[in-house]
Amino acid sequence: MTAKSAAAAARATVYGYPRQGQGRELKKAVEGYWKGRVDADALRTTAAELRRTNWRQLAEAGVHEVPTGDFSYYDHVLDASVMVGAIPARHRAAVELDALDGYFAMARGTQDVAPLEMTKWFDTNYHYLVPELGPDTVFTADSDKQVGAFREALALGLTARPVLVGPVTYLLLAKPAPGVAADFDPLTLLDRLLPVYAEVLADLRAAGAEWAQLDEPALVQDRTPAELNAAERAYRDLGALTDRPKLLVASYFDRLGDALPVLAKAPVEGLALDFTGAAAANLDALAAVGGLPGKRLVAGVVDGRNIWVNDLTKSLATLGTLLGLADRVDVAASCSLLHVPLDAAAERDIEPQILRWLAFARQKTREIVTLAKGLSQGTGAISAQLAANRADLASRAGSPITRDPAVRARTAAVTEADARRSQPYGERTTAQRARLGLPLLPTTTIGSFPQTAELRTARADLRANRIDTAGYEERIRAEIGEVISFQEKTGLDVLVHGEPERNDMVQYFAEQLTGYLATQHGWVQSYGTRYVRPPILAGDISRPEPMTVRWTTYAQSLTSRPVKGMLTGPVTMLAWSFVRDDQPLGDTARQVALALREEVNDLEAAGTSVIQVDEPALRETLPLRAADRAAYLAWATEAFRLTTAGVRPDTQIHTHMCYAEFGDIVQAIDDLDADVISLEAARSHMQVARELSGHGYPREAGPGVYDIHSPRVPSADEAAALLRKGLEAIPPERLWVNPDCGLKTRGWPETRASLENLVAAARTVREELAGS
């Protein structure tokens, strides 16, 4: 096929779309089901209507082929586990009794049964449920969800493409099930899994699917020859099937590297590649392997992870280069649009001058359609859109909002000494222990306490002017008093004020820093029914005034026990925002770090003896390729130290991380030079404690003993057992006792019971240590 005819065939598509609905209808329906206010039929009806709405929006925008199967009640990887019958033994009875309740039990756990482990989806803030597999795992096909969604789209008269997690990525994301040897490799189950995928693909073909998409993002990471061989074998076998749709193998988030020639040679009909950011290297690599003759290429040229308008002229140039490298070139976002909000047009409080710079899912869809039209019909067909796009880009580039000379001068003046504590840890810890006087195995929480309906109502009433600031602050003071009183009665050693005034751990600070923009409807799924509104980092960052000192010092006035100052660290402020793409991330991180440094110093000056700077996103933002990691970790750890290094030796600096694979960054955790780190460990059975020990980590650590993402209450015996496991790796004088994460999403009854059990467990283990 000639380049001209390939251009004529260009079509617009996407790999996935936000699930929640404009008003977060899915969240409300699922949580209503959990609470018994919504029955299963009503939940299914809401979900079906959301799917139909999404497909109609895409079709009306001009998308030629809509995705199906990407919608999920909780998580698409959990859906894949259901599709292949990989139900953990402890959940099988519940699934057999009621498939929907059993599904949610795997996600959230019950009082008697632990949920699946949860961790970050590659380098995003989306969390998936980790498959649990072992040598005895038996896979069985369940294509009902995939076939059902596909038929729903067909019934609307749409061209649809089912989207599945690919078999290689599924196995590479899995872990050995509890009780299985830690060195078990789930990839050894590939030959057992492929017939199940074959059965699902046959069912989709029977339902009328022309194409099916198999997502293999794990192949953009560094892969061993054995793993690449597994990918070659998987798509050789699936490609050889006669009863299947055409196969589109999709990758995203980075360049494919050594996996590209493997997939290019595979007997599949198409590849979907990312051409944004670091993945732009896919273009030269594709040319180097001779392109994709006779195959379809879906080109991800619109950034699916950030919210800035696309440079249409630049993207068209990339697409034009690709025309000669494949039989057919279609246009898409770089990844699923799950990672961006739904519609920028809903934002009424952002200035029109700035709003024109933004593209959420609906706007990105229009960009994709415009690019496909331009590729097919020539730039003359989209001249008006190109002119408007150039004006939008020029408006942003020339705006004074983006640059503050004073901030840039201050950042340029930073020296290496500014990011170094005045004394080494060995000397600091003596001073801190003398100042704090804490017992062995000190107990604390991570920061937030339950955000009750009353708190959310008070915040809404303040925004709507139904109450005045004085009335709102009185409610906050009362909540802080209750939180401090509860912690004292329970026996916690280092307290927190509970963060009742904070809407979100990033947004709260972003709203008080110059350079950030807040949205009203920019919701993005983090996990399950947890949605966040990432702020938009549009300009240079500074702190006009203290942000947390007032409420921290008020809480400290209520107790003689130390109250932690609570801040969100610079890397997480970037990772959980939509960051500017017009300067290096390291430069932006230093700006944020200097603003936070002022806050840290003000907290210390106000008498705060323990200051926690959370960095849960340090691992999440780690580049997927090892070659890119050293540069990232250098600026990321420097930014943390720049935030915290200005305090006295006897001020204790804490940090916190959660729900990630920490083994890859143990050296970076060490390089932060925090005095204490708390980490998620309950679902992973203290794995991180062993990783810290193996590294020789010399500082204090609190691997979590209470999984806060499940409604179940851990018993005191259960928490004590985890503590004893932690003590196998960390000596008692350096071990802290804490939950996995903040308690914002939990209810008060389970929080009270769980923390009482946590404190009881610490006392029990202290007594055991004293008697040994």
Q: Which residues contact 279 (CB under 8 A, 6 or more apart)?
A: 220, 252, 253, 254, 255, 273, 300, 334
DSSP H helices in 549-646: 549-556, 570-575, 585-605, 629-644
Q: CA angle, corner 56, sides to 51 and 58, nearest 5? A: 100
Q: Are strands 514-517 and 536-542 parallel, antiparallel or unpaired?
A: antiparallel
Closest CA to 218 of 196, 243, 245, 190: 190
Closest CA to 735 of 706, 764, 762, 770: 762
Tokens of 736: 């802290």
Indicate if 685 belongs to the active site. Answer: no
**Chain-centroid distance, C-alpha 483:** 29
Q: How far is the C-alpha of 140 from the C-alpha of 125, rounded, in Å?
A: 31
Q: How far is the C-alpha of 469 from the C-alpha of 70, rounded, in Å?
A: 43
Q: How far is the C-alpha of 670 from the C-alpha of 681, rounded, in Å?
A: 18
At 568, is the secondary structure helix, strand, or coil?
strand
Q: Which of 91, 521, 654, 709 is catalytic?
A: 709
Q: Which residues pair with 698 in a beta bridge?
A: none
Q: Are strands 246-250 and 270-274 parallel, antiparallel or unpaired?
A: parallel
Q: How far is the C-alpha of 575 from the C-alpha of 644, rounded, in Å?
A: 19
The Cβ-side half-sphere exposure at 220, using a 13 Å CA radius, reads 26
Q: Which residues pair with 213 in a beta bridge?
A: 163, 248
Would you list the DSSP string of 520-536?
Answer: SS--EEEETTEEE---E
Would you list the DSSP string of 337-353?
Answer: GGGS-S-GGG--SS-HH
Positions marked catalytic: 709
